Structure 1
Amino acid sequence: MAEVELDEVGELGDQLPSGAGAFLKTVKHKKPQTIAVREFLGFWGYKRRGASIVRVIERALAQRGLTSSPEIVKADYYGDVTILDRRDLAEDADLEIGWPISSVLDVEKELIAVGPDESLIAVETLMVMHDFSQIPVLSKTGRDLYGSVTWKSIARWSGERSEGTARQAMDANSHSAQSSENLLDHIENIIKYEYLYIRDPSNMYVGILTATDLAQSFHSTSGPFIKIGEIESRLRVIVNELPLPVIQQAKQPTDQSRQINDASDLTFGEYVRIIQNPEHWDQLRLPFDRATVVKNLEEVNQIRNDVMHFRPNLDGQTTSAIDRCLNWLRVSRSK
């Protein structure tokens, strides 16, 4: 992560980079500002949109009565995002729905390509070295896609291997999409053809999304989703050991419409509220340090929204907090 100069300190104690602070000060009611996603992330010294940095940015915006359109996490990584006053949100006509393809790309991974006149032996060497099933054949500008050399297209070519070129052995029927397009619209073709080349808004080819990438993305998101479900189930069992009046008191006093019959009617935040109470903690007789457990539960509560909405780009800090929570919950009743 690049070092950034810190300037402002927000209400929650977050130090705001000076570049971000200067930019956000230009955003006024009825005067939104548009900025490249990569430039905006760069204020914080980041390239990736992990869950932790997204929360930091969203918190910085919320503290100033601002928001983004689309959400930072849903914006095309190679495109722009508009930062605006929350009061202007209802008037904004450019709200986007769905996940852009760039949200699941490894943006730090360079797209390796070959020119049409590259020797077939050189192409095969690159494919073996990088464990590729296909490699794009691009123009020098990186904006013209001629086709793909695949192991299947090499097998179909009947010429002399030592004299062949990428152009001669390639499959001209390659598949591509803009980085801003909805990922869901392309999943069927990615599975069918096994890959999809990605273009940024300038039509420069910047990445490839394979069926394997899709599977890994699904696993990295669905895994935490399933673990959060287990955490909630285990917390429910623990909290249900308390008297019903105690469980019912966890509800916000202003929430009159919701009826609480047992712990299953509580929110995750209400589980945290119960457990952080020293008296309730003593009643539960959990064999751990209360402050450490509560801090961990507060971490998980923060990231739960990302996980339950299947936001991509969950980072190591996020998954680590979930795993730590499961570790103590799984042994809480075995001691």
Structure 2
Amino acid sequence: MQVDLDKPLDDYPDEDPILKELAKKLTIKGSFHSTTVRDLIWWFGAYRRGPLIVDRIAESLAKYKLVVEPDFRTTYVDNYVKVSAKSESSKNPAPVEESAGSDSNFSHFSISQLESANRALITVAPNDPLEKAVSLMLAHDFSQLPVLNNSRSIRGAISWKSIGSKLAVVGKGELVSDFVGDCTVVEHDRAIFEVYDLIYNDEFVVVRAQDKTFSGIVTTSDLADEFRKVSESFLILGEIERNIRRLLDRWNKLPAERICEICNIARFDGFHKLTFGGYLRIMENDEFWSSIPFKLDRKTFVDLMDNIRITRNSVMHFNPDPSSEKELRQMRNFSGLLQKLIGFHQS
């Protein structure tokens, strides 16, 4: 039985009242609350599954004797999960013992966490006419289509390559079955790092979900798009850090000893050796801020910078969820602000 929340999500100040409400409502046997992973982590004020948020969610679920199935850590962020009361047979996700950047956690980055692995498949059957497959590929700008016998049985795939090869050699064919080629099927829980070569060699793989149906297809183009999202975050963050160091170099009038005190370090060898947290502590300092050559609101600037710090920590820990558009916009805007300040300083 589906159980809903009493209020819209935005009306809850944090996760505690949500979990308290669900703990009371989910005492009825067989009851559950359905939500997406994205909304689940939003209860905790997060956009992505960083290591600290994952630990916090697991601890809070245990506190209120709730479980989430399937595992919220490895399920695609826009897929639905069920929150229910913990029973004797229920198992909470194993605690995360390593940081998200450690090798042991790479296994959690499964292929099912990619958007394309969860996109509704467009397929054809072996006895469909070739014209249907061609029309679907042209209409959707696809290079291939899975050929299914039924929802849990795959014959192979038809592609521009398989069609061209058959026509070049045989010169004819009317049904999809005349042009089917082999395809690689990977299970939903396979680590994405294990299937890179398969995707690059075969140009695509078909993903089989936990219920043995086929949940999506991942192509080389999909991988390139994922890498673009990740690399954009790294590039913007790199630019932000470089410009923060440039501003610190230009604005700073504090002696090295005072910087050591502010940042709680034994020795100051330059701003390039400080952590992002160190940059933030200096910007927050009254002595430093009073010496900057611009009329800026310190709280606004520091709050913006702290938001970047939180996003940076998640990105640098190789969080499996790509940066949201909101996070990317925040990073771009803050980078633009720093560029303006540098430009004003030079003019």
Q: Structure 2-normalised TM-score? A: 0.74
Alpha-carbon displacement from aligned partner over 1:180-208 (angstroms, at most 9, x marks no partner): 10111111121111101111112211001
Matched, 1:133 2:143: yes
Matched, 1:197 2:209: no
The 1:153/1:89 distance shift into structure 2, 3 A limit, reads closer
- 2:86 matched residue in structure 1: none
The 1:25/1:250 distance shift into structure 2, 3 A limit, reads farther
Q: Which runs of 5+ in 1 are unaligned?
A: 27-35
- 1:154 matched residue in structure 2: 163
- 1:14 matched residue in structure 2: 14
Q: Where do 1:50-65 residues align within 5 Å?
A: 52-54=47-49, 58=54, 61=57, 64=60
- 1:310 matched residue in structure 2: 318
- 2:301 matched residue in structure 1: 293
Contact 1:178/1:199 (CA < 8 Å) preserved in 2? yes
- 1:30 matched residue in structure 2: none
- 1:277 matched residue in structure 2: 285
Identity, % of aligned pairs?
23
For 2:241, which of 228, 232, 241 is the aligned residue? 232
Alpha-carbon displacement from aligned partner over 1:19-71 (angstroms, at most 9, x marks no partner): x4456799xxxxxxxxx9x9563693789xx96154696485277496999xx
Q: Which runs of 5+ in 2 are unaligned?
A: 26-31, 83-89, 98-103
The CA distance in 1 between the partners of 2:153 and 2:286, in whole Å, is 65
The CA distance in 1 between the partners of 2:226 and 2:248, in whole Å, is 33
The 1:97/1:53 distance shift into structure 2, 3 A limit, reads closer
Contact 2:283/2:289 (CA < 8 Å) preserved in 1? yes
- 2:253 matched residue in structure 1: 242
For 1:213, which of 186, 198, 222 is the aligned residue? 222
Amino acid at match of 1:310: F
Matched, 1:75 2:74: yes
Shift of 1:73: 7.4
- 2:101 matched residue in structure 1: none
Contact 2:38/2:47 (CA < 8 Å) preserved in 1? no
Shift of 1:16: 5.1
Alpha-carbon displacement from aligned partner over 1:90-111 (angstroms, at most 9, x marks no partner): 6xxxx75431011223466311
For 2:115, which of 79, 100, 105 is the aligned residue? 105
The CA distance in 1 between the partners of 2:125 and 2:183, in whole Å, is 15
Partner SS state of residue 137, structure 1: strand
Partner SS state of residue 36, structure 2: helix
Moved more, 95-104 or 291-300: 95-104
The CA distance in 2 between the partners of 1:114 and 1:283, in whole Å, is 68
Instruction: Give the paired residue count.
Output: 308
Contact 2:5/2:22 (CA < 8 Å) preserved in 1? no
The CA distance in 2 between the partners of 1:60 and 1:116, in whole Å, is 49
Q: Structure 1-normalised TM-score? A: 0.76
The CA distance in 1 between the partners of 2:234 and 2:134, in whole Å, is 40
Shift of 1:138: 0.9
Alpha-carbon displacement from aligned partner over 1:296-325 (angstroms, at most 9, x marks no partner): 111101111121123232110111111111
Contact 2:162/2:179 (CA < 8 Å) preserved in 1? yes
Partner SS state of residue 119, structure 2: coil
Shift of 1:13: 4.7
The CA distance in 2 between the partners of 1:133 and 1:43, in whole Å, is 30
The 1:302/1:180 distance shift into structure 2, 3 A limit, reads same
Contact 2:35/2:81 (CA < 8 Å) preserved in 1? no
Contact 2:55/2:96 (CA < 8 Å) preserved in 1? no
- 2:263 matched residue in structure 1: 251
Matched, 1:41 2:36: yes
Contact 1:51/1:318 (CA < 8 Å) preserved in 2? no
Contact 1:51/1:314 (CA < 8 Å) preserved in 2? no
Partner SS state of residue 202, structure 1: coil
Partner SS state of residue 239, structure 1: helix
Contact 1:51/1:313 (CA < 8 Å) preserved in 2? no
The CA distance in 1 between the partners of 2:240 and 2:72, in whole Å, is 25
Contact 1:148/1:170 (CA < 8 Å) preserved in 2? yes
